[in-house]
Structure 1
Amino acid sequence: MTDLGFPNNFLWGASTSAYQVEGAALEDGKGLSQQDVLNENNYNFADASVTSDNYHRYKEDISLMKELGMKSYRFSIAWSRIFPDGTGTPNIKGVEFYHKLIDELVINGIEPIPTLYHYDMPQALVEKYNGWINRQSVTDFVKYADFVIKEYGDKVKYWLTINEQSIIVQYWTQKNYIAKEH
């Protein structure tokens, strides 16, 4: 036990989403996500095309995490950085970025805990079949998740599937309710 009463293996850490910290919104082959489009079309969202630029500054960020004594980092993998169109051929530069991020975390003694989905469905799938509203999204998500878990699974012990899945349901329910009212 630590002096604070927590077990020694307690994973002190922090969490982020790709959309909120990576920046590089359309660099190295990344496709648009629904968050990118919401940002462009809605003044209630902040511009996240640069953010804290974790895509380019991940080593500095991880150094700060280590300095803070963090033992874990929960981050999301941007589906549209891995599969710019949601399906098809993986984007090699996107795949390489997450390898570098995960490797740097491990080198610094920080447990990587990826989240597979954090509100950033590839916009191509939203345009193709209205995103999560269509069951095809489940098939496409499974293919994406299968690829990501196989790609990074030898370096990652803990995975999270969907960040706050209830928000997805609330968003689509509210959107459809408002559409029916007008």
Structure 2
Amino acid sequence: MNPADLLIDAFGRVREVVHEAVAGLPAARLAARVDPGANSIAWLVWHLTRIQDDHVADVAGREQAWTEQGWAARFGLPFAEGATGYGHTDDEVAAVRAPAELLLGYHDAVHARSVEFLEGVTGEDLDRVVDEAWSPPVTLGVRLVSVIADDLQHAGQAAFVRGTLDRRPD
């Protein structure tokens, strides 16, 4: 297996978990929180998708789908256009409300762009430094693994929230 295939498979696994966590839920259930300080499924999926969009677009040298494809306008969230959810307050988490079709549409658009970029990645590319603000500097390989790890963690959290909410009586 070459590096591109491995990375595409990993990002595909994120997509699978996202779809399982979101599919068929009404917007109210997607915005529900297991307690006032917890993240909702909508926020978790929006955030993990924003991180993937932000980070992969950066290393690919292209504009984010969020702005280029009009997703920011479609979501209409009360945040700066560049917000990714990092450091959000409880009130900001609560402000992320969206139907399943919008969340999955944005995630699928970002996934497609990620795959398009990853198809051309070689083993040598993974050693390219993409962020010198850290010590040691961050390589493409490290950045991609970081995105995958963060996305899988949040996708798993969304799946956990769904399971918890599914067991609650309405």
Return the structure number with greater helix share. Answer: 2
The TM-score normalised by the length of structure 2 is: 0.30
What TM-score, normalized by structure 1, do the two folds share?
A: 0.29
Q: Which structure would you say has the larger RCO, counting Cα contacts within 8 Å and 6 or more residues apart?
A: 2
Considering only CA atoms, is the larger Rg found in Structure 1 or Structure 2? 1
